[in-house]
Amino acid sequence: MTIILQVQGVTKRFGGLQALTDVTFDLPKGQILGLIGPNGAGKTTLFNTINGVYSPEEGRILFLGKDITTKTPYIHANMGMARTHQIVQPLNELTVRENVMVGACFGHENQNLANAARIANEVLEFVQLEERADQLAGSLNVAQKKRLEMARALASHPTLLLLDEVLAGLNHSEIDGMIQMIHDIRDQGVTIIMIEHLMRAVMNISDRILVLDYGQQIAEGSPQEIADDPKVIEAYLGDPELARKLMEEK
| Through-space distance between the first and last CA atoms of the chain, rounded to whole angstroms | 28
pLDDT in tens, 147-171: 999 999 999 999 999 999 999 888 8
Predicted pLDDT of residue 246: 56
Task: With CA atoms as reference, report the closest residue to 160 among 195, 205, 194, 126.
Answer: 194
Pairwise CA distance, residues 53 & 226, whole Å = 29
Predicted pLDDT of residue 243: 56
Predicted pLDDT of residue 250: 46
Ranges in the chain, pLDDT < 70: 237-250
Predicted pLDDT of residue 242: 58
Predicted pLDDT of residue 235: 75
Is the whole model's pTM more than 0.85, yes or no?
A: yes
pLDDT in tens, 116-151: 999 999 999 999 999 999 999 999 998 999 999 999
